[in-house]
Amino acid sequence: MELDRRKQALLETIVVTYVQRPEPVGSGFLASQSVLGVRSATIRNELAEMTELGYLRQPHTSAGRIPSDRGYRYYVDHLMTSERLAPAEARAIRNAQKVSEGDLEQLLNQTCRVLSSLTRYTSMATSPASAEPIINQVHLVQVAPQRLLAVVVLDNGQVVHRFYELPRTLKPAEVTQISNVLDGMLRDVEVSRVPQAPIPADVGPQHLELLRPLLALIGRGVADEEADIYLEGASHMLEQPEFRESNKVEPLIRFLEARKTAFETLQKLLREQNLTVSIGAENPHQAMQEVSVVAARYQAGSGKHGWVGVLGPTRMNYEQAVSAVDYAARALTETLSRLGLE
């Protein structure tokens, strides 16, 4: 629902005030803001209507209002102004990337560190990858009479290793044969299709019993390795008044520590978007219902991309977060393009 100008002005004032000072905003304070030019009685009526519409919440009967998830969403989509990153902040991001040139892991870590320092929120980044990695090569190595090492090379250069305990001893010739069959089955196959890869009809029953678990092992192994996410500043969550209660912060910290889950959630949030702001209940994971995520895509050449962003309370300074994250993503794209890092 579209809000009229008065309601928009009230919502914007409440959001900005609540971000700066985490206390419910009352009608008396709003009436003192000359820019609104509205009496307290009129403001109280407007606040009651906006609360009924779902844009505001009233924590206590006698308290003022705070924005709801819907209110923040309206603010971000319709009222938020574009804020240019301060020159000193832009330099901090650029300087961090210069220090780490030539080392992708250090580059992402340093970028996250500076983002977290600038915004005082938890920052995160993913390594660049294709939208759907493809297997280039599969090779089996016999490391013991009843133990194999499966080596999988992806088109993004990533190499995945997984050990497999054999139910029986294999001869070297058998290992070579099974390795060749697997390589032929999975070469140029998207990783999500590995478990369903058709097994050739001429494979004997003695090898069929090994191929199925090996396919499952490779599929799980590649999925696990994809969960490559960098995090900095998780302790900043503890600084926010919203997370002083352990029952709120502990599930969130555990979620961040489970990096595969965090990676998958980030993928769901972003999909094909270049920049996203996901607020509170819009987040798909239960542990993230109290937080907002601002994330942007960076490019890494050859169709590869990754994401960089921040995670903080819904009472977030969205202008600053969007500006910092967008700038960091664009700087990463430029740095990776110049260095040819992938």
Which of 46 and 203 is assigned the larger pLDDT?
Answer: 46
CATH 3.30.390.60 domain range(s) in the chain:
137-226
243: its two tokens: 């997370």
Q: Which CATH superfamily is domain 87-129+228-339 in?
A: GAF domain (3.30.450.40)
Q: What pLDDT, on the 0 to 100 scale, is given for residue 287?
A: 81
pLDDT at position 279: 95
Given a cut of 80, whether residue 213 has pLDDT beyond it is yes
What is the mean pLDDT of the segment spanning 140-155? 87
pLDDT greater than 70 at residue 7: yes
Provide CB contacts within 8 A for 237, sequence distance 6+.
Answer: 122, 243, 249, 252, 253, 312
In this prediction the pTM is 0.73
Report residue 74: phi and psi, to 5°.
Answer: -65, -40
- Of the chain, the percentage scoring pLDDT greater than 70 comes to 91
Quick one: tokens of 297?
Answer: 């895509």
Q: How far apart are CA 136 and CA 6, in angstroms?
A: 60
Rounded average pLDDT over 152-162: 78
So what's the pLDDT on residue 92? 93
76 — pLDDT class (breaks 50, 70, 90):
very high
Length of the chain: 342
Backbone angles phi, psi at 57, to 5 degrees: -125, 150
- The gap from C-alpha 251 to its chain's centroid, in whole angstroms, comes to 17
| 66-67 and 122-126 strand pairing | unpaired
Mean pLDDT of the chain: 86
The pLDDT > 90 percentage for the chain reads 40
The pLDDT confidence band at residue 329, using thresholds 50, 70 and 90, is very high
CATH annotation of 5-79? 1.10.10.10
Say yes or no to pLDDT of 258 above 80.
no
- Asked whether residue 341 carries a pLDDT value surpassing 60, the answer given is no
Where does CATH 1.10.10.10 sit in the chain? 5-79
For 39-65, what is the mean pLDDT? 90
What pLDDT was estimated at residue 227? 53
- Residues 276-290 have pLDDT tens digits of 999 999 988 888 888
Q: What is the pLDDT of residues 108-138, one digit of tens each?
A: 999 999 999 999 999 999 888 765 678 889 9
**CA–CA dist 170, 147 (Å, integer):** 9
Per-residue confidence (pLDDT) for residue 55, from 0 to 100: 97
pLDDT reported for residue 318:
97
Q: Where are the alpha helices (DSSP H) in the chain?
A: 5-20, 27-32, 40-53, 69-74, 87-99, 104-119, 172-186, 205-226, 236-239, 246-257, 259-270, 318-339
pLDDT at 18 over 60: yes
In CATH, the architecture of 137-226 is 2-Layer Sandwich (3.30)
Q: Is the CB of residue 292 less than 8 Å from the CB of residue 260?
A: no
Residue listed under structure tokens 């520590």:
257
* Residue ranges of the chain that CATH labels 3.30.450.40: 87-129+228-339
